[in-house]
Structure 1
Amino acid sequence: MPGGGRSSGAGHGGVMNSTVKVLIIDDHSLFRRGLARLLEAEPGFTVAGECGTVEAGLQMLRERPVDIVLLDFDLGLERAFEFQTRAREENIARPVLIVTAGLSQFDAAKAMELGARGIFVKHRSPDLLVEAIRRVVSGGEWLDPRYAPARLYREKAVRQRDPSEAPAFSIREKSVLRGVLEGLTNKEIAAELNVSEASVKAALQRLFQKTGVRTRGQLVRAALEQFPDVL
């Protein structure tokens, strides 16, 4: 899934020979509307809809023909995962290109596991975004170079993981693990979960035992390589 170069070949169902219908889901209205104007001015594109929430995006997907979804990762209190999961459950999923200011390698791997066809970073040029959209609609993939490790983690996990051997994590342990993956300190995790710092430390020790590691860095690597679908 390279982040450069041009795609070759026609799109599925001849999409690239007709107007590409784009759905934009981003909770920042200025960015969303600016992107909509940019794409409307681009030959061969039309904006099928734009909104800022998972529910509104799903409703548009149910009602309108869409060729690709440009999906922000952080949608206020929601995340891209929720949209991806619900769209698949309703059998209305379309190719998704995550357009984000940034996300962790773990979250990038998870988004790809849920079917994202690419990850595009917002500070890249508009021309590059148009190229990324065309590639995804043509059946290809687009991954910003900084997220190459996420793809490797995911592919390695798929090859090596035996689901029956995955340790069972409690809800608290999963929450603490996500905090560690996001780079939070024990104190910050405790504040976010509204629990004591001692409770976080205890959960962290259980995570070390279950994954067979001794440090936070080793825990992050184990989570990305061995248990990307645990959370």
Structure 2
Amino acid sequence: MNKISVVLADDHVLVRKGLKKILEMEEDIEVVGEASDGPSAVQEIKAKKPRVVLLDINMPQMNGIEVTKILKKDRVDTKIIILTIYDDREYLLELIKMGVSGYILKDIDPKGLIDAVRSVNRGETYIQPNLTRALIAEYNRITQPIAGARKPLTAREKEVMAYIADGMNNNEIANKLGISEKTVKNHVSSILRKLDLQDRTQVAVFALKNKLV
């Protein structure tokens, strides 16, 4: 089995050990490295080349935003999931623009953590559901309203959008609607095209901003 390699970057040893214990209970996930500060996180990621990094925003010497900037500048092909506390939500929009793949709170339940890792490994964006509305509140505070859709969405596309805004991945949406995951992917692609959006994060923002869910 080709396991999902993960690096854990957090300055709290107990947090890292707890995350590692949860992740390594899964047969398809392997923790290949750990880091306790920003510079060591960059070094560990570049050396181990993991498919996913769980990256704390607040770390000594260099924070998660600075680490992300370096990784993106150097085109490191690792999916980044930001570990955050609720009060860090003002950073999320900046991180979205930088291309981070996931955003989870440190008190996330084990299933959510595992779903996040698997989702971003598949190329999807994962936002913990209870972070989504905080993200929208911050978006509303500093931006203008999002422009309307170029083309109207179908009823099924609106359903898919609502589930995306709730933080569901394609597989969960497929099970909820009783359709194939491939069909869900087609709906997501159509939504992105019609709304002129770039990713699932922007879809969630659009849906909540325009009260479509």
- TM-score normalized by structure 1? 0.56
| Identity, % of aligned positions | 23
Q: Which runs of 5+ in 1 are unaligned?
A: 1-16, 161-231
Structure 1 residue aligned with 2:31: 47
Pick from 102, 119, 127: which aligns with 1:135? 119
Q: 1:132, 1:94 → 2: CA distance?
A: 14
Structure 1 residue aligned with 2:8: 24
2:76 aligned counterpart, secondary structure: coil
Task: State whether residues 52 and 121 of structure 2, in contact with CA within 8 Å, keep that contact through their aligned partners in structure 1.
Answer: yes
Tell me if 1:37 matches 2:25: no
Q: 2:144, 2:6 → 1: CA distance?
A: 32
Give the superposition deviation at 1:151: 5.4
Distance 1:44 1:100, change over 3 A: same
Greater C-alpha Rg: 1
Q: 2:32, 2:122 → 1: CA distance?
A: 18
Distance 1:103 1:77, change over 3 A: farther
Superposition RMSD on alpha carbons, in Å?
2.6
Distance 1:158 1:83, change over 3 A: farther
Report the count of equivalent residues.
145
1:50 aligned counterpart, secondary structure: strand
Q: Which runs of 5+ in 2 are unaligned?
A: 148-213
Tell me if 1:114 matches 2:98: yes
Pick from 56, 67, 71: which aligns with 2:51? 67
Give 1:158-169 correspondences, 5 Å limit: none
Give the superposition deviation at 1:93: 4.5
Tell me if 1:146 matches 2:130: yes
Distance 1:43 1:27, change over 3 A: same
Structure 2 residue aligned with 1:185: none
Structure 1 residue aligned with 2:68: 84
